[in-house]
Structures are given as C-alpha cells and as structure tokens.
Amino acid sequence: MSRLSEFQPKNENRQSGKSQEEEIRQKYNQFSGMNQSQLNAELYKEVARQKSAGTFDYASLSSMVEGMRGSLPESDYQNIKRILETLR
C-alpha cells in the first residue's frame, strides 16, 4: 500500500513521467475506497514515519488548513482542526 507522503503535488516527485493530474487521480482512486477508520490509520502511520524521519512539519500543516478554511464547511474545518491537534 502506498504512503500518504507519496502524494506530492509538486514536480519534485515526478520520476515516472506522470502528470500532476494523473498522480492525483491515482491517489484518489487508491484512498477513495477506504473508510474513515482506514484513512485515519494511514494518516497516523504516515505522521509517525515523518516524525521518526524528522520531516513532520506541524506548522506547515496548520497553515495549510487555515488557508483552506474559507473553502470548507465549518464542520469539516473543525474536524480537521481536531485531527490536527492529535498529530502534535
């Protein structure tokens, strides 16, 4: 199973020659069949991996969530904030 970290919307992870759209579609297809519990498990595994590698950036994630706030229903925003707090 792929890791969430493999989804990088920047050009730095394009060895395969896939377009950004193709990469996004592939990751969507990979994770769309998962239930919330499975998605949470994947998230926490990835966060643990990043923390052990010293690459986890809470401030950047928090900033990204704040930037998305206007595009999200308030309930989704609050849910994401709760999840984010557990990742500290």
Q: 49: closest CA among 1, 3, 14, 15?
A: 3
d(C-alpha 28, C-alpha 22), whole Å = 10
Cβ pair 87, 50 in contact under 8 A: no
Per-residue model confidence (pLDDT) at position 3: 60
> Where along the chain do its domains lie?
35-88
d(C-alpha 2, C-alpha 34), whole Å = 13
Backbone φ and ψ for 22, nearest 5 degrees, come out as: -65, -40
Per-residue model confidence (pLDDT) at position 73: 95
CA dihedral 20, 23, 38, 52 (to 10 degrees): -70
Per-residue pLDDT tens, the chain, 88 aa: give them. Answer: 556 555 555 555 555 678 889 998 998 898 899 999 999 999 999 999 999 999 999 999 999 999 999 999 999 999 999 999 999 8
